Structure formats: structure tokens, C-alpha cells
Amino acid sequence: MKRNMRIVVSLLLICCMSLSLFAAGQAEAAKPARKVINLWSFTDEVPKMLEKYKELNPDFDYEINTTIIATTDGAYQPALDQALASSGENAPDIYCAESAFVLKYTQGDAAHFAAPYKDLGIDVDAKLKEADIAQYTVDIGTNPDGDLVGLGYQATGGAFIYRRSIAKDVWGTDDPAVITSKVGPGWDKFFKAAEDLKKKGYGIISGDGDIWHAIEGSSEKGWIVDGKLYIDPDREAFLDVAKMLIDKGYHNDTRDWTDAWFADMKDAGEKQIFGFFGPAWLINYVMAGNSGGSAPGEGTYGDWAVCEPPVGFFWGGTWVLANDKSPVKDAVGEIIEWITLDSSETGLQYYWANGTLNGPGGTKDTVASGTVMSKSDGTLDFLGGQDMFDVFVPAGKFATGTNKTQYDETINMYWRDQVREYSYGNKSRSQAIADFKQQVADNLAIDVD
């Protein structure tokens, strides 16, 4: 009898446990899906895009939880890396990477976190073809397995941005077709133009950084080849170019992103400066605001034009990625497709190209979609009514992403510091190179010969 009682009690306990497990499972199944998308960025650009997406799609009932950490002092990457590794409720679902370090997240040390776009419900091949996306952005955003994991919305192919009034004074015309032939193709013609400008009291560029971005972006190979530090001949030649610029007085010896550099955009420097190298974003977000005016005739506003540069290059750009462990991949895929691959007139890139993201009259910019660019208007008062897309769209075809590495941000800083030491006469050429190699060896996990 007692034995039977024990069996009955055991069976009751088993039934209770089963009911508890069933109830827990039912509760879990009834638990609503997460309705929050965690976004990590280093500027407010992409967060504002998501606000626009929600405005256009009121049925998209996800809350956007935004974290913005500036890249200043290298703060963004370590914080992002820690957040990606956490895989908790607050881990990023969408995150942004800048061109200086994007390869770390698409092809390098942190590439394993990135979800292939195809896993987000995006028909990648069809959308790439339909939108005619600039190839260099695709190359940079493709992981070692051949899957697309990141794309940008801007096209950041570079042009030469020059002063119309100075061109007329030196060569008698400000026609972009003529000025293109004066400053290139090739650096020999560019420095011949520098000499012409010097005779009239002008500098051709503001500082050595202006030309560095073009040299870096056009070099055949990047800083690392076969796992070892490599100094491309074009990049090594920057030592001599930087010294020549100082020795011959071809610039105002400013450093980019300093007050002196900004001052040269509005004729507040030692001598008037003819031009700057850069993509459309340099015009829109830097030069226009530092021109000393906001309409033609004020400061240098309206006295600029763009032409083809001596060499093809790109500078900057933001790539958008998704966390492979995100529990809201479908929603993330909708957003990312709208930002990077939607070439319709209600896609982000059409608004971005035509300056209508926040209503008419906004800032125009070049975008990654050739389809969008072909139906957009790039005329700017800042450029004297010139359609900048006529120059910037072809510029994207010359840009290449094959000379980028995940360490570019750091190595470029080391290199430029040593170049300046040499150009100022503080070090010999060989010593500057040796010290550069030593810095890389001491601070990065890169073999140095």
C-alpha cells in the first residue's frame, strides 16, 4: 500500500512539474516580441534618418534607442566593440562605421559580428543592380566569405574645389573643363599650376593634409600587404611633396580641421588659397559654413566651382551594419534597405541627394546609388549655380576601396606626424621613415620589416 502511495505521489509531482514547464513555455510564447531597435553611431546623421523612416512609416512601431559616441580621441570603437560582445538587451542592432575603420567591422577583427544583408530579408543582388551602387562601397562592405554586410548612403569620390575669381585672374577663365586641364591629370600638371598661382601671390592649397587625402586614396596598395606594413611608393612620395610645398611656399601650411584651415575657406589666411580636395560633403558641411557668407556675394560663398582632380580618390563615408545576433533582424532589414538600397523617390538616398530629407531647401549631397543620382539635381548657389553631380558622379567611378585597411585611422596619424617632422627639417627622410615603422611596431599587431 505504501509503495502504491509513493508511486501516486511521484506521478503527481511529475504532473505538477510538467504543468509548470508548460505554463512557463506558454508565458514565453505569449511574451511580446521586442519592439526596440538599438542604434549606435558616431554622429546624428543616421539617427535622424531613422526618425524620418518612422515618420514615413507610421505602422513601423519600433522604438529607436540611440547611442552616439564621437570618434574624437578614439572613443567610439572600444565602446562599440564592448557593446557588440555583450549580446544583451542593449547590444546594437544597427551600427555605423566610418571609412577610416570600417574594414575592421566588414573584413577584419570585428567582422564576425556583422549580419549578411541577405539574412535581413534583402534581395541583395537585385537591389544592387536596380540601385546601381558605387562599386567601391560594395567592395568595402563585403566580408571575406563574399557576403555583403555593410553599405553607405553617400558617395564620397573626390574632386578639386577651386575659387572662380582666382582662376580668372591667373588663367582668364573659371570654366571647369579648362581648369581640369590646368590642375591635371597627374601631379606634374598640378604643381605647374601651383607655380602659376604663386606668381600671382596665391597658394594652391591650404596645407599638406589637403593633398594627402588624394594621395592616400589613389595609391595602388594600402598600409598592409601580406600581413606586413607596406609603404606604397605614392605614399612615400608624400614626404617629398609635403617638403616641396613648404620650401616653395605653395600653401599656408595649415593643418586640416584647425581654425587656420577653416580661415582659408573665407580668405582670412596669410594668402588667398585656390582650392581644396574633397567630396561633396566637404562643400556642404565644412566649406559652406566657413565661407564667411550664406549667399552669393557674401565672403567667398558662390565663388567656388568643382573640376576633376589630378588623381581619382575618395574620402570618408559611413557604412551601416546589422548585428548578426539581433532579435529584430526583419525590422532592421527594412531600415537598412531603405537607407542603402532603395532607389525610389521615397528612399533615403533620393531625399539625401536632393536636400529634401527635412523639407525643401536642405543640403544636397552625392549618394551611392547611380540610379538616384541620374534623376537628381545637384546645382548649388555655393558653386555659382554649377551642377556638382556632373563632376562627383564620375568621380565615384575612379574611387577604389582596395587600398584600405582596418588600421588606417591610426597609421595615417603616425605617418602624417613623421612627414611633418621631415618637411620642417627636424628629421632626415630615413629617420622619419624609421620612426614611423617603429611606432607601428610598438602599437599595432603588424609585422614590420
All structural domains of the chain, each given as residue ranges with its CATH number in brackets, are 36-155+316-374 (3.40.190.10), 159-313+380-443 (3.40.190.10)
Distances (CA, A) of 407 to 99, 109, 186, 333, 410: 11, 11, 28, 28, 6
The band of 135, judged by pLDDT with boundaries at 50, 70 and 90, is: confident
The band of 237, judged by pLDDT with boundaries at 50, 70 and 90, is: very high
Q: Radius of gyration over alpha carbons of the chain, in Å?
A: 27
Query: How many other CB atoms sit within 10 Å of the CB of residue 65?
Result: 14
Mean of pLDDT values over 179-190: 96
Predicted pLDDT at 73: 81
Q: Higher-confidence residue: 76 or 90?
A: 76
Task: For the sheet with 63-68, list strands across it.
Answer: 63-68, 36-41, 94-98, 318-322, 151-152
Please say whether the beta carbons of 107 and 319 come within 8 A.
no
Mean pLDDT of the chain: 91
Predicted pLDDT at 387: 95
The band of 406, judged by pLDDT with boundaries at 50, 70 and 90, is: confident
DSSP letter assigned to residue 34:
P
The band of 276, judged by pLDDT with boundaries at 50, 70 and 90, is: very high
Predicted pLDDT at 117: 98
**Could you report the per-residue pLDDT of 206-229, keeping only the tens digit for each?**
999 999 999 998 899 999 999 999
**Could you report the per-residue pLDDT of 25-64, keeping only the tens digit for each?**
444 444 446 799 999 999 999 999 999 999 999 999 999 9
C-alpha span between 183 and 190 (Å, rounded):
4
Predicted pLDDT at 19: 46
User: How does DSSP assign 60-71, residue by residue?
Assistant: ---EEEEEE---
Please say whether the beta carbons of 139 and 344 come within 8 A.
no
Which of the residue ranges 103-107, 285-289, 312-316, 416-420 would you say has the lowest mean pLDDT? 312-316
Parallel, antiparallel or unpaired: strands 159-163 and 275-278: antiparallel
Predicted pLDDT at 27: 40
Query: How many other CB atoms sit within 10 Å of the CB of residue 48?
Result: 14
**Could you report the per-residue pLDDT of 320-366, keeping only the tens digit for each?**
999 999 999 999 999 999 999 999 999 999 999 999 998 888 889 99
**Could you report the per-residue pLDDT of 82-93, keeping only the tens digit for each?**
999 997 788 999
Predicted pLDDT at 88: 79
**392 pLDDT higher than 70:** yes
Query: Which residues make Cβ contacts (< 8 Å) with residue 362, sequence separation at least 6?
Result: 355, 356
